[in-house]
Chains A and B, each alone.
Chain A
Amino acid sequence: MKISKEARRFARELFTLSLTNGRLDAGKVSDLADQLVAERPRGYAQILREYTRLARLELERRHAIVDSAVPLDEAHVSSLRSDLASKFGDDLTIEFRTNPALIGGLRIQVGSDVWDGTVSNRLHLLSQQL
């Protein structure tokens, strides 16, 4: 659905206001959303939709997905958590998933960035070299 320029600009301003030290602040987000719904400015539905999208994208940027072929044991999980937290900050949410198709190794995705050290990826790269 098309969003007007004004709504997009307004949503961006709200998004900037909901950041504390460059990180999304949950308290501020809910306060701003409540205020927006209460005041109902022109095109508030569009603004809210765009604001939600921006917030979701920001949350995805702060979300890590760890894929492995077999479930990881506690020691691995905790060392991964501490490593990722030291690299990306404490507020990073981490999701662990299992995918046997990876054969072995780990695939870590944080936002749009992917580190793929899986056996299936290496085999794919090798097949491309041939």
Chain B
Amino acid sequence: MNAPSTSLQSVCDRAFADISEARKSFTPRLIPHEVGTITSVATGIANVSGLPGAGFEEVLRFPGDVYGIAFNVDPDEIGVVLLGDYWQLHAGDEVQRRGHVMDVPVGDELIGRVVNPLGRPLDGNGPVNTSGRLPIERPAAPIMDRAPVTVPLQTGLTVIDALIPIGLGQRELILGDRQTGKTAIAVDTILNQRGKNLLCVYCAIGQRASAVAKTVANLREKGAMDYTIVVVAEGNDPPGLTYIAPYAATSIAEHFMEAGRDVLIVYDDLTQHARAYRELSLLLRRPPGREAFPGDIFFIHSRLLERATHLSDERGGGSLTALPIIETEAQDIAAYIPTNLISITDGQIYLSPSLFELGVLPAVDVGKSVSRVGGKAQRAAYRAVAGDLKLAYAQFEELETFARFGARLDEGTRKNIEHGRRIRACLKQPEFAPVSVPAQIAVLLALTTGLFDPVPLDRMPEAEHAVQEAAANTPAEVGARFDTAAKLNDEDRKTILEIARKALAPFQPKPEAKKKS
């Protein structure tokens, strides 16, 4: 009984000591400030009169600790985007200028936390005590401070690492219809960064709270929260909060990039962001354009994604890799927002619902996916196999349609199709199961040299797994050359193939069966 009362006493003493310390250091000063008056409040926006000195994007404070951003600054009236519970606001309420633009807390204390775009915690783990703050809208790095994309970012997904490689500092769009596994690719990429000294920021924009909770639970369960920050604007948050979410998340990530670290940021998804901005723009009576989006819809995304880059060594050499996600409707990748994002980013990963229905997961449509800068960053070992693999897979996709009709095929075509089927089997991968670089290279080398071709299709998952497990025995000096060597030498190639051959031996058909065919 004594112990709890002593500890309670010490807690109280500490709290009162803090309060008296703050009181002593507090010197009241009479600083004039400007106030205005709310003239009208609507869903997510308010109009304010007065405040002649308010600037564009300045933060305004409303009663009840609700904040807003000045969006339309006219001489007589200001259109404000509200960032909190606006239902308690009334016309006639007083509004204060804060004298600065919107900012967000940044720092190491945020790692492992789930916060909203204002930096307030949502995970119930107490306040976030960071020392620094950064404005949410910041200019992108100037050209001279940028370095080319040269270092690969391993997603742990064979199909992406081999065929659509991503480099640090790249912007790679993930797009596809609903329920095609867009988030899964992003989450798998985050999971694969465990122990790789790469920080991740996952920005959920306007998603269902249950979907966000599921993603956070997955990240936590797999131990990815140790190096991840989650910034969440839920579907029921005001549109203003949804709108600022990706900018706030980028500022949080930039802080680490400028400290010389490598950061990965996922925007899930920018379709919701564009919708939130359209909502705000229409409410603020800005003229609507195509699909009722305002005229600057391209600019809001380009200025966001331009902030992702690889900094030069003089600027610390940090990088910010962005994986924006876009949801298409009825596979229409030529719609307004998808085409905007495709032109802004350095490539796209398209997820096809038809592949998804066939059970090919991840459902990456290799033909429609591209990486414009990642190829230069790709490891030499991948580059050695990627060309053949892409060609063989493209041929297979062409021929597969013929084969479906049961047409009689010549020996060469049949072989191509069988080879293609094995490529597809090897590119399939379950969720939350990232594959290491040596395992991927061993499988891909075995695949391109045709080692998998005699393996029956129904035993492919087992065979692939056996090769992956055997790849763990790759000699350390060969493994080290995966990262450094300009080209995979023949000796290394032989070593890897020998390992794969041994692992595949139990899956080969019996010799007499081979003779017959």
Asked if A and B are interacting partners, one says yes
Q: Which residues of A contact B (CB under 8 A)?
A: 53, 57, 60, 109, 111-117, 122, 125-126, 129-130
Contact of B22 among A57, A114, A116, A130 (CB under 8 A): A130
Q: Is the CB of A126 within 8 A of B35?
A: no
Interfacial chain B residues near A114, Cβ < 8 Å:
32-35
Contact of A130 among B18, B30, B32, B49 (CB under 8 A): B18
Q: Is the CB of B52 within 8 A of A122?
A: no
B461 to chain A, nearest CB (A): 59
Q: Which residues of B contact A (CB under 8 A)?
A: 18-19, 22-23, 25-26, 28, 30, 32-36, 49-53, 76
Once A57-B76, A125-B28 are accepted as A-B contacts, the answer to whether A109 and B19 lie under 8 Å apart by CB is: no
A13 to chain B, nearest CB (A): 15
Interfacial chain B residues near A60, Cβ < 8 Å:
50
Interfacial chain B residues near A130, Cβ < 8 Å:
18-19, 22
Contact of B28 among A111, A115, A122 (CB under 8 A): A122
Beyond contacts A113-B32, A125-B26, A126-B26: 7 other A-B pairs, Cβ-Cβ < 8 A, are A53-B76, A60-B50, A112-B34, A112-B52, A114-B35, A116-B30, A117-B28
Q: Is the CB of A112 within 8 A of B50?
A: yes
Chain B binding surface, main DSSP class = mixed
B471 to chain A, nearest CB (A): 57
Q: How long is the Cα–Cα vector from A117 to B52 in the complex, in angstroms?
A: 22
Nearest CB to that of A127 among chain B residues?
B22
Nearest CB to that of B52 among chain A residues?
A112
Q: Is the CB of A115 within 8 A of B23?
A: no
Interfacial chain B residues near A129, Cβ < 8 Å:
22, 25-26
Contact of B35 among A57, A109, A122 (CB under 8 A): A109
B221 to chain A, nearest CB (A): 36
A18 to chain B, nearest CB (A): 17
Contact of B30 among A53, A109, A111, A117 (CB under 8 A): A117
Interfacial chain A residues near B51, Cβ < 8 Å:
112
Once A57-B76, A112-B51, A112-B52 are accepted as A-B contacts, the answer to whether A126 and B22 lie under 8 Å apart by CB is: yes
Contact of A113 among B23, B34, B76 (CB under 8 A): B34
Interfacial chain A residues near B52, Cβ < 8 Å:
112
B246 to chain A, nearest CB (A): 28
Interfacial chain B residues near A113, Cβ < 8 Å:
32-35
Interfacial chain B residues near A117, Cβ < 8 Å:
28, 30
B413 to chain A, nearest CB (A): 69
A-B contact pairs, 5 of them (CB 8 A): A112-B36, A112-B53, A114-B34, A116-B33, A130-B18
Q: How long is the Cα–Cα vector from A50 to B34 in the complex, in angstroms?
A: 24
Q: Is the CB of B36 within 8 A of A126?
A: no
B30 to chain A, nearest CB (A): 5
Q: How long is the Cα–Cα vector from A113 to B50 in the complex, in angstroms?
A: 10
B11 to chain A, nearest CB (A): 15
Once A126-B23, A130-B22 are accepted as A-B contacts, the answer to whether A115 and B30 lie under 8 Å apart by CB is: yes
